[in-house]
């Protein structure tokens, strides 16, 4: 059954879940759930887009945080600020996905669009 949000038809998923809920869950555990949904969902572009964007954004932030933690004092401070920003971004992306929106971030959204 296709999920219709407003005038948006998000299509059907191959996993039997509503696309907007699957899109939200792509972000739930960051790049980990993004990877799971990207590998499991084969036909729904909306879910695959959010899964790929989750992998790119939160995988990138994870790597950046690891590198920053090597730098004494300044790295830890910047890493803390980046972590706070990540939480805000995480909530925003989950809300937008649940609302049925293709909320495309710069760079990461382009990568996700090409690979979804």
pLDDT digits (tens, 9 = 90+) for 37-65: 999 999 999 999 999 999 999 999 999 99
What pLDDT does residue 11 have? 87
What pLDDT does residue 6 have? 47
E-strand ranges in 11-113 read none
What is the Cα–Cα distance from 50 to 36, expressed in whole angstroms?
Answer: 12
E-strand ranges in the chain read 4-5, 8-9
Nearest to 93 by CA among 42, 45, 58: 58
Q: What is the pTM of this model?
A: 0.88
The domains of the chain are located at 4-115
pLDDT digits (tens, 9 = 90+) for 6-20: 446 788 999 999 999
Residue for token pair 């925003």 = 92
Q: Average pLDDT in the 77-104 region?
A: 96
Mean pLDDT value across the chain:
91
């Amino acid at each position: 059954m296709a999920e219709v949000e407003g005038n948006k038809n998000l299509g059907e998923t191959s996993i039997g879940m509503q696309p907007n809920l699957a899109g939200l869950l792509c972000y739930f555990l960051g790049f980990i759930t993004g990877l799971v949904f990207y590998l499991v969902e084969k036909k729904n572009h909306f879910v695959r887009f959010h899964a790929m964007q989750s992998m790119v954004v939160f995988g990138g932030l994870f790597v950046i945080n690891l590198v920053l933690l090597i730098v004494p004092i300044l790295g830890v401070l910047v890493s803390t600020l980046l972590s706070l920003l990540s939480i805000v971004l995480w909530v925003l992306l989950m809300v937008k996905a649940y609302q049925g929106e293709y909320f495309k971030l710069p760079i990461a959204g382009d990568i996700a669009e090409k690979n979804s």
